[in-house]
Amino acid sequence: MSTQQMTYAQAGADALARAMREDPMVVALGEDLGRGGIFGQYSGLQAEFGAQRVIDTPISESTIVGAAVGMALTGLKPVVEMRVIDFALCAMDEIVNQAAKNRFMFGGQGRVPAVIRMPIGIWSASAAQHSQSLEAWFAHVPGLVVVAPSTPQDNHGLLRAAIDCGDPVAYFEHKELWGESGPVHPGEPVPLGRARVARAGGDLTLVSWSKAVQVCLQATVELDAQGVQAEVIDLRTLWPWDRDTVLASAARTGRVLVVHEAVQVAGFGAEIVATLAQEGVARLARLGAPRAPVGYSPGLEALARLTPQKIVQAAQALLRR
């Protein structure tokens, strides 16, 4: 298959369409899917597959995920749309106590191959209840696979891998990446649990995921001007995460800065830093958002946002240690 230019949203829609054509057990359900979803990530799917496979649901997240768990246990492969991760909090019992635990509590008699799409991150001028990055919550839950694509190619390949993996997947697209465009090779597999080296470098390792990867790459421009060659690792999957790639880079560069948009306190970056500290391979630091709700006003929202300048400052501080 030839490489195509797609947006992040189009890549997700194309990946789902291909999975639905290949496997009649794949279905999608959520609010407003018939009109393409609020970000266009289901555009054209109901017209092709009908309302019985691309299902518009009531506005009840617990009902949506509960129905998906039942579908999965009876042989379907549901792809669940939560609109934004903030709304998924209304379905935490179904995600954590039902989907994640079923295979373990019943001796493997049933599995829940559901992909739960929960867009994360700051959504401009949308305030505290629509701008959260809660991926660490789900990484903490045994039984869940946790995925966070940063590019159109990865959104295509990782969504296909998530649908095929056979376990419940917390799938985190970013609310402000939908319009980002890039090359997509539909036939190129993107395996779960394997990081991508987005940029090679020998002086410092930046580890990140989702939209923060792009901010890290922007920061490398200023670091280059200062004579610092930073390696950027895109985890792509938070659970399982690619320890080998991160540890190998840390051993080469001797310094690792973990960067994420989520609140720094108890963020997933702490797990990475703790793992590296146990190995004793590098000097370590992390950078995340302050422990405060994201403000609605532009000034307050900016305080919560990652910027290339904040990453450069944190990198400079780490290099001085």
Q: Where are the beta strands (DSSP E) in 85-144?
A: 115-117
User: How far, in Å, are 29, 140, 179 from residue 94 at the CA level?
Assistant: 15, 16, 31
Q: Does the annotation count 174 as an active-site position? A: no
Q: How far apart are CA 215 and CA 219, in angstroms?
A: 6
Q: How far apart are CA 155 and CA 292, in angstroms?
A: 29
Contact present, 148 and 135 (Cβ < 8 Å): yes
The values of phi and psi at residue 123, to 5°, are -120, 110
Q: How far apart are CA 17 and CA 11, in angstroms?
A: 10
Q: How far apart are CA 200 and CA 205, in angstroms?
A: 9
Of 318, 267, 312, give the one whose Cα is nearest residue 288: 267
User: Coil, strand, or helix at residue 301?
Assistant: helix
**CA dihedral defined by 112, 100, 39, 162, rounded to 10 degrees?**
-60
Q: How far apart are CA 99 and CA 64, in angstroms?
A: 12
Identified catalytic residue from 130, 156, 174, 260: 130
Q: How far apart are CA 208 and CA 234, in angstroms?
A: 5
Catalytic residues: 130
